[in-house]
Structure 1
Amino acid sequence: MDEMVLITQQWLNETYSGKHGYNPVEESGKTGWDTIYGLTRALQIELGISEPADNFGPTTQRLFKPLKRQAPDSEPSNMNFILQGALWCKGFNPGGFTGVFYEKTENAVKEFQKAAGLTTQDGIVTTLIMKALLDMSAFKLVSGGDPRIRQIQQNLNRDYNDYIGLMPCDGLYARDTNKALIYALQKEEGMSTSVANGFFGNGTTSLCPTLTPGDSRTGFVLIVQYALYCNGKSFDPGEFDGKYGVGVVSAVKAFQEFMCLPQTGYADMPTIKALLSSSGDTTRTASACDTATIITAEKAQTLRNNGYKTVGRYLTGNVRTSNGLTSKALTSEELSVIVDAGLKVFPIYQDGGYESSYFVKDQGTRDAYSAASAARRLGFPSGTIIYFAVDFDAYDYEVTDKIIPYFQEIKSAFTKMQTFSTAPKYEIGVYGPRNICIRTSEAGLTKYSFVANMSTGFSGNLGYPMPNNWAFDQFYEGTIGSGSGSIGIDKDGFSGRDSGASNLNPPSDPVYDARLRTLTDILSTIPALENLSTLANAMFEFDTTETIFTSPELDIILSTSLLATIPSEGSPNTITITNGKPGAYITGLLGDTQTSLTASQIDSYQNLLNSLSLSVRNGYLEVYVNPTAQSLNIQVKIYTPDIPVGDSATTGLTTTITFKIKQKHFRLPDTEEVYSPDWDTIVNNMVQVGIGIVIVAGIGALALTVGAEAGAVAVLFRTLLAAFK
């Protein structure tokens, strides 16, 4: 806590509480926007503004009159209290909280003017100074800040404050610094303050100079020197002296090489625009592109005719068009067209990711398995980079809280898949704004970046350098070709780090595929399992046991065995399934117990059994119930001994799903009633009623409740008890 900030907050509330437009501030002793807004509204009240607001707008700027040193015996004024409070909040000591602008307050203002980089350090508080004080921007070097970036910020304030105001001088290259550099360029190009806007548009592009060694236009050269350093220390031009010498030539060539631009050493428009805008020169040629359009032979020829050699395509999903949803997913047939045309392809995974709410727990795991499964099915070889999309402007805290955990899950899933004998060894890439690409790379989660540079206004692009591991640089959207060869594409810069794939070999293992198909059909029949992320997919490893779902109430364990034994005949726990039909019906299995169920429940249970039987085709189904001191275990065992492979060949598989209900006390939903189940009684009832009730009540209820929170198991038992009445 800062005592002087606390005194400022207390004074604000004592002086202005109850006055129109003032909102009381928290008296915490900590500077924040709440306090800054309070000071701003207090200032506006003193200026006679009828409707105070949080921002230091045009009216405030017009009405504010400079503040300067007074005689030591002057009366305190609220304007000076506001000034001194703002200085304390900014970290500058005005010598107390007196309301009198005297020597120490003047010295604090001079110190601020120096910190801001201003040449004039006279201690007079102009509108420019007051507006900068009533802001949260830092004017001292912060932790992690670079002194040379701070020098750039101070120089920009010194030379261009009529265009940019006073920007932070914290040593961190960010959005404000990026926009200030563009403003500076626009001023040097001759734009007035009413025209310059900090955006590198067509006007700025058309007026952009070409700078060569020895160029005497000092302002332009300084901007290039600043921009080179801000884009990475690998492009350090040396001193910021405004001279286009050997150091600048070397730095420009290094940057051009990094961005795959012609290495001339001249700072031309494409180079300057690449330094200051994420998209760079959008008219430049590209040898790579990406598209959501299915590529036909005609479209592939269009790509070749326009110089494209590598194309990004989506592994799964749909895209919305004027005709509704259209598939954007790669197929084996399309891959053949792409490869036959002499093109290479890099895979993109995006079935969402357009907003922050997509990136929740387990989403990364689901996406990892889905993407790897599709890539394997299409025949992408080991070493292929799969680019997972983050297609929105995530703030840095969202990158920390959501995006990093999402990629940690993907990495964990990929690491696990590396142990599968059937799995290609895929690598992880990211598609997204620069900050996301940089953060995931620095965290060791992604190998290469596919950078969403078209979105020049994204906070994740403005003020961030190009990631060092960039493979593709998406910079312009357009349509090429005509007629049946017309195709909409995004132009992508190509670094050569990822050359894409051309040797695609879909796996050919009919026995494995037959088993996988059967397992997928079985699991997808049970709603409780269909959305779990680690179930059957093209990366599945047989002859394993794994917990595929866990919660405080319930675990689900999946086990597979290639020894497809046949259960003993006549077992009361066994149902024989022949040609997709069960050897028993729900009504027969339930007997008199069916009277406690509605017709709709009986129909749904019969449909579940019928669907499961269709998936099994020919085989057996057993259910066992095993109570323990800690849990009730319901085990469903499915035998499929004669899975057709082709011609007359068959293979076998045994699938065991165990539902482990762990808690002994349950609060029934929407009530205060707590239920403590008697496991032995429940099991005895199950045996008396017959195997059918175990299937329909046990699996059926779980099917409706897996994934829910605390009420899941309570619903299960309510369903079970209803069947035993």
Structure 2
Amino acid sequence: MADEMVLRAQRFINTTYGDGATLGISKLEENGRTGWTVMYALTRALQYEMGLSSLSNSFGPATLAALQEKYGKLDETTIPSANFCRIIQSALYCKGYDGGEIDGTYNDRVKAAVARLNANMGVSGTYPGSSLWPKVVKGLLNMDAYVTVNNGSETIRSIQQWLNGRYVLRKDFYIIPCDGHHSRDVAKSMLFAIQYELGMADGVANGVFGPGTQSGLRNHTVSTGSSGVWVQLFTGAMVLNKRPVAFSSSFTSSLADSVRTYQSFMRLAVTGQGNFETWASLLVSYGDQSRPGEACDGVTKVTAARAQALKAAGYKYIGRYLYNPSTTSLPEKEIQPGELATLKEYGLRCFPIYQTWARSVDYYSPEQGVTDCRTASYKAEEHGFKPGTRIYFAVDYDAVDEEVTSFILPYFQKVREEMNQLGSPFKIGVYGPRNACSRISEAGYADASFVSDMSSGFSGNLGYAMPENWAFDQIVTKTVGSGDGQIEIDNNIASGRDTGQGDFYPTPSQKLDIGFDIDLWSSLLQEIQDYMASIGKPGGERIYTLEECLGAIIQHDAAITSGARRYRMRKALVQTSAFWEFAHYSLKDYTEDAGVVLYHTGVIPDWAKDLPKVERLVDSSTGIPKISGRTCILARNNSIRSGLLEGTVLDSADDDDRWAMWQKINQDNVFSLSTVPHMHIWGADGKPGDHEETPIRRPALDYTETEIYEVLRRYQGFGDEAEAHARERMPLYAIFEKYNLAIRGV
């Protein structure tokens, strides 16, 4: 919303300085809205009025020094000109204070505004009265707020004001915002405060968590009974890390309890004291880099010798990359043949990471999210990761908050949606700075975070608390082992939220199927139509055309492909069973579906109002692949018990369980088609819980004709009709396999 006085400030700049030409800027838009463009113009105007030869948007050391040297402080006795005063008045309005009439007079209204500004900044004890001191002018000419905004915390604001008031006279300490929000500037000011209290001189204190600061903190453990400024700094750091404590100078037993909770959360030694390890964790993202980690990640193959060295060093969880598109750069970045078997042999577990580039904002788009999800899932399946493994998708750069909103979140939304379309074979994690991890997780697009805390200078780490769902905390690069066992890794702290995978499918002996090439659609459809016509199928009772049936199969190709790859079976097995059943979906099936709804709800659904003879029925074969609630439960229970699928074992005889499962099969095409592989595995296992048969080898990439026939037959049932239909489906299988082979290669 436009502000009349801000509008007048913009007109003052344009009128006084030749539409900005004198200041080296373009004419300001006179819209009554403040912003950096206006503040930059006022900064340049101030520099111009002081006679500086070089004008800049930055209120830097030269501007500050000139202001200090020329005037010391600004008030009605020292302000040099009317235009100089108008700059101050304009800036006050842009900050939300009453600057008078922008008339060039440092009058009572201006004085009252300056006094309130000093108080809001927390510096009125140091700068009493209504004079403007150079560092206050610097704070006036930026976009920092000195009152709480956007639901800011009053406790955080009190910490910000305390820091300003206590340290504003130190040479390199500048006034920080008092808006109630933690930030990069606030985080750095805390380090300056620590260094000042350690006795570092101006010019030595630099806001860096270096050896001198670390050494000093080791001698400043605070605990129950402690009091004074060190407790204030410690409680301030706790508050800024979102711990529910009071900003206080007294270390109480209640505070000790909160410290224990924080230490447990961060996987620190639980002492209840503000020791060095805890100080470090509160002040910098990587914390105490000497901490031993149980997890690591790297771009180097883990050989037997390296695995032995890692295990001897205390590592349990190894992060490795699923894919490397480069054939020359980092040749061992992608998991190498036999590497997962080596990890398993040495009792190590692996958590997979997906990153190709991901080092700048222009990488991220919804389309890239779809591509990356498919590629990551397919590579995870190729390497042998089992369903339920969590893949960490990378944000490997300093993504600022606006970029997270506009680019990173839409990318991860598509990763989430595409993983759902694949049948949710893998969980989704995020690797990146704290802010990106937290926001992606809060949006529901990832359920665990691998935090790049080693990059402590990232704006997405500075001023942000640890994500609540952190699994791995990357803190330092180090070398482990010697000789053949030497390997460079990033050392990570493990929270226990993700323990990686310790068992893997063997490397496939043949190529896995890949996605369908839509250019082959017409020829595939024609062959299928010709074949089905040649056998007189499916007859006159069908509801859907063959083109519609095949279209449904191809529309859900991602889920079918993923399921086939995951369980190391030929995609044609899933396509054949699903297509055959859908092509035979009849009015009788439709009526039976309505009967199931009537049985469980007491109401005939609207879509079945005109159907004749709808009778109550506890269950029916439904959905594209015509699976009943009962058989779906039995098949999925079999896979859950076999460790192939995560989930809860249900009761196939329980009406509520059958109804819940029937609805998913009927309404969720991805779920129903993702169940077909489990139906084939269950059939091969002898269909336990049903009409049990002799177990045969589970579906495999090298299934024989006899095995293909048998598993297709078992999908439908037993008896003469099932055997006849299985024989008719064998050529259909051959057609699908012909096209799949052409796409994947031998």
Residues 236-635 of structure 1 mapped to structure 2, 5 A cutoff: 236-238=244-246, 240-317=247-324, 324-331=329-336, 333-418=338-423, 425-506=425-506, 517=513, 523=517, 544-546=553-555, 561-562=575-576
In 1, are the aligned partners of 2:306 and 2:487 still within 8 Å (CA)? yes
- Structure with more of its chain in strand, by fraction: 1
Q: Is 1:55 paired with 2:61?
A: no
1: distance between equivalents of 2:4 and 2:338?
Answer: 71
Q: CA deviation at 1:331?
A: 4.3
Q: Is 1:176 paired with 2:176?
A: no
In 1, are the aligned partners of 2:477 and 2:489 still within 8 Å (CA)? yes
1: distance between equivalents of 2:554 and 2:519?
Answer: 20
Secondary structure, aligned partner of 1:139: coil
Secondary structure, aligned partner of 2:352: strand
Q: CA deviation at 1:645?
A: 3.9
2: distance between equivalents of 1:499 and 1:542?
Answer: 40
2: distance between equivalents of 1:656 and 1:311?
Answer: 37
Q: CA deviation at 1:62?
A: 2.3
Change in CA separation of 1:75 and 1:319 when aligned onto 2, cut-off 3 Å = closer
In 1, are the aligned partners of 2:295 and 2:317 still within 8 Å (CA)? yes
Q: Which amino acid aligns with 2:296?
A: C
Q: Which amino acid aligns with 1:285?
A: P
Look up the match of 1:13.
14
Decide which of 145, 150, 156 is 1:143's aligned counterpart.
150
Secondary structure, aligned partner of 1:12: helix
Q: CA deviation at 1:425?
A: 3.3
In 2, are the aligned partners of 1:561 and 1:653 still within 8 Å (CA)? no
In 2, are the aligned partners of 1:563 and 1:654 still within 8 Å (CA)? no
Q: CA deviation at 1:646?
A: 6.1
Q: Deviations over 1:477-500 (max 9, x none)?
A: 111111111111000001001111
Q: CA deviation at 1:69?
A: 4.7
Look up the match of 1:220.
230
Change in CA separation of 1:482 and 1:89 when aligned onto 2, cut-off 3 Å = same
Q: CA deviation at 1:76?
A: 6.8
2: distance between equivalents of 1:75 and 1:452?
Answer: 50
Pairs aligned (count): 544
In 2, are the aligned partners of 1:435 and 1:464 still within 8 Å (CA)? yes
Q: CA deviation at 1:381?
A: 2.6
Q: Deviations over 1:359-395 (max 9, x none)?
A: 1231111111121222223332332211111111111
Q: CA deviation at 1:648?
A: 7.1
Change in CA separation of 1:543 and 1:20 when aligned onto 2, cut-off 3 Å = closer
In 1, are the aligned partners of 2:17 and 2:23 still within 8 Å (CA)? no
Look up the match of 1:30.
33
Q: CA deviation at 1:116?
A: 0.4
Q: CA deviation at 1:561?
A: 4.8
Look up the match of 2:198.
189
In 1, are the aligned partners of 2:365 and 2:408 still within 8 Å (CA)? no
1: distance between equivalents of 2:551 and 2:225?
Answer: 69
Look up the match of 1:124.
131
In 1, are the aligned partners of 2:428 and 2:448 still within 8 Å (CA)? yes
1: distance between equivalents of 2:197 and 2:427?
Answer: 46
Aligned-residue sequence identity (percent) comes to 38
Q: CA deviation at 1:324?
A: 4.4
Change in CA separation of 1:425 and 1:543 when aligned onto 2, cut-off 3 Å = same
Secondary structure, aligned partner of 1:270: helix
Change in CA separation of 1:325 and 1:272 when aligned onto 2, cut-off 3 Å = closer
Q: Which amino acid aligns with 1:7?
A: R
Secondary structure, aligned partner of 1:429: strand
Residues 38-49 of structure 1 mapped to structure 2, 5 A cutoff: 38-49=41-52
Q: Deviations over 1:31-90 (max 9, x none)?
A: 11111111111111111111221122223222221455538xx99711111111110011
Look up the match of 2:637.
none
- Structure with more of its chain in helix, by fraction: 2
Normalized against structure 2, the TM-score is what?
0.68
Unaligned runs of 5+ in 1: 419-423, 527-540, 550-557, 566-642, 659-725
Change in CA separation of 1:655 and 1:477 when aligned onto 2, cut-off 3 Å = same
Is 471-480 or 365-374 further displaced after alignment? 365-374
1: distance between equivalents of 2:332 and 2:519?
Answer: 25
Change in CA separation of 1:246 and 1:51 when aligned onto 2, cut-off 3 Å = same
Q: Deviations over 1:632-657 (max 9, x none)?
A: xxxxxxxxxxx994677687343599
Q: Which amino acid aligns with 2:4?
A: E
In 1, are the aligned partners of 2:366 and 2:413 still within 8 Å (CA)? no
Q: Which amino acid aligns with 2:375?
A: S
Change in CA separation of 1:67 and 1:487 when aligned onto 2, cut-off 3 Å = closer
Unaligned runs of 5+ in 2: 521-549, 559-570, 580-699, 709-729, 740-746
In 2, are the aligned partners of 1:210 and 1:266 still within 8 Å (CA)? no
Change in CA separation of 1:543 and 1:37 when aligned onto 2, cut-off 3 Å = closer
Q: Which amino acid aligns with 1:236?
A: P
Q: Deviations over 1:243-297 (max 9, x none)?
A: 1221321222111111100011121111111101001111111111111111110
Normalized against structure 1, the TM-score is what?
0.70
2: distance between equivalents of 1:216 and 1:81?
Answer: 50
Look up the match of 1:662.
none
Secondary structure, aligned partner of 1:460: coil
1: distance between equivalents of 2:297 and 2:80?
Answer: 69
Secondary structure, aligned partner of 1:544: helix
Look up the match of 1:114.
119
Look up the match of 2:724.
none
Look up the match of 2:644.
none
In 1, are the aligned partners of 2:222 and 2:230 still within 8 Å (CA)? no
1: distance between equivalents of 2:484 and 2:518?
Answer: 39
2: distance between equivalents of 1:50 and 1:12?
Answer: 19
Change in CA separation of 1:380 and 1:548 when aligned onto 2, cut-off 3 Å = closer
Change in CA separation of 1:644 and 1:16 when aligned onto 2, cut-off 3 Å = closer
1: distance between equivalents of 2:355 and 2:141?
Answer: 43
Q: Which amino acid aligns with 2:576?
A: L
Secondary structure, aligned partner of 2:735: strand
Look up the match of 1:133.
140
In 1, are the aligned partners of 2:323 and 2:356 still within 8 Å (CA)? yes
Q: Which amino acid aligns with 1:654?
A: I
